[in-house]
Amino acid sequence: MANKWGMAVDIDRCTGCQACVIACMSENNIPINLDEHFNNRRAISWIRVDRYWEGEYPHVKARFLPLLCQHCGNAPCEPVCPVYATFHNDQGLNVQVYNRCVGTRYCANNCPFHARFFNYRRPVWPETYNNYLNEDVTVRDRGVMEKCSFCVQRINRATREAKRTGDEEFINTLQPACAQACPTDALVFGNLNNPNSQVSTLFHDDREYTLQESLGTEPNIRYLKKVDKEAAPEPVHA
Ligand code: SF4
């Protein structure tokens, strides 16, 4: 059976440190965002940590929600692409084909999670950074849509390595950059077709929920609710 990749995001563990964001940018050659790009809403970040405030001052609490492409099983971005530049592969990934993209941006407009980014500019890095770019990842040029790939380059490398060594278990150690960098293990990645994987177990956790569930996009990313001890009901004693 083919692997089906998915991720569980535990909101209760996320501290909002943004290590996942930096790791993703470094792994996937994301262009450097300057103030002007943020101000023009043209900054690119495959994973972001949305921040919410809950409660009223002085009892305010910060809540963090790491958000990336949800790799939806019923993805709204796919049917609107006129050139099939985004499609679903046999491993549950929502794939983006850069050299097929003609830049209509229909997919980004149809994504309810705002997880897709358009290259309005040709990326430029300081010369000293050139040797730091990841050679396994294409540098996207102006006019191309991009988004989280679940670090597909790592998936492909691990798949090849597992095949070469005959060690099928090796693939279960695979992690995308964000999950690898997270200091609190809030991001758990794995094979949903393996019932014994940690991510499969978390998908059946009592705290599990789906973002924008009413839209029926069937994401391959599930979230685990925050546990707020102060808001928890008093235990009932018999
Ligand atoms: S690295 Fe982990 S704890 Fe830090 S913001 Fe990302 S998900 Fe949250």
| pLDDT for res 236 | 59
Instruction: Identify whether the C-beta of residue 43 lies closer than 8 Å to the C-beta of residue 70.
Output: no
| pLDDT for res 235 | 59
Spell out the domain ranges in the chain.
5-224
Comparing C-alpha atoms, which of 18, 7, 96, 74 is closest to residue 50? 18
| pLDDT for res 129 | 83
> Distance, CA 235 to ligand 1 centroid (Å)?
31
Instruction: Identify whether the C-beta of residue 186 lies closer than 8 Å to the C-beta of residue 66.
Output: yes
CA distances from 181 to 20, 151, 187, 192, 232 (A): 6, 13, 9, 21, 31
| pLDDT for res 7 | 97
Ligand 1 pocket member 224 (CB < 6 A): no
| pLDDT for res 229 | 72
**88 phi/psi in degrees, rounded to 5:** -100, 130
Instruction: Identify whether the C-beta of residue 213 lies closer than 8 Å to the C-beta of residue 72.
Output: no
- The two beta strands, 221-224 and 5-10, are parallel
pTM: 0.91
Ligand 1 pocket member 66 (CB < 6 A): yes
Ligand 1 pocket member 14 (CB < 6 A): yes
| pLDDT for res 231 | 63
Please tell me the distance from the alpha carbon of residue 87 to that of residue 89, in angstroms, as a whole number: 7
Which segments of the chain have a pLDDT < 70? Answer: 1, 230-238
Architecture of the domain defined by 5-224: 2-Layer Sandwich (3.30)
Q: Which residue blocks in the chain are alpha helix, DSSP H?
A: 19-27, 35-39, 106-110, 152-165, 177-181, 198-202
**Beta-carbon count within 10 A of 174 CB:** 22
Ligand 1 pocket member 184 (CB < 6 A): yes
| pLDDT for res 128 | 86
CA dihedral of residues 43, 46, 47, 52 (deg, nearest 10): 40
Ligand 1 pocket member 20 (CB < 6 A): yes
Instruction: Identify whether the C-beta of residue 101 lies closer than 8 Å to the C-beta of residue 144.
Output: yes
> Distance, CA 10 to ligand 1 centroid (Å)?
10
Structure tokens at 227: 């546990």
Ligand 1 pocket member 15 (CB < 6 A): yes
Comparing C-alpha atoms, which of 174, 226, 163 is closest to residue 198? 174
**Beta-carbon count within 10 A of 230 CB:** 7
Closest ligand 1 atom to Cα of 17: 4
Closest ligand 1 atom to Cα of 185: 2
Ligand 1 pocket member 182 (CB < 6 A): yes
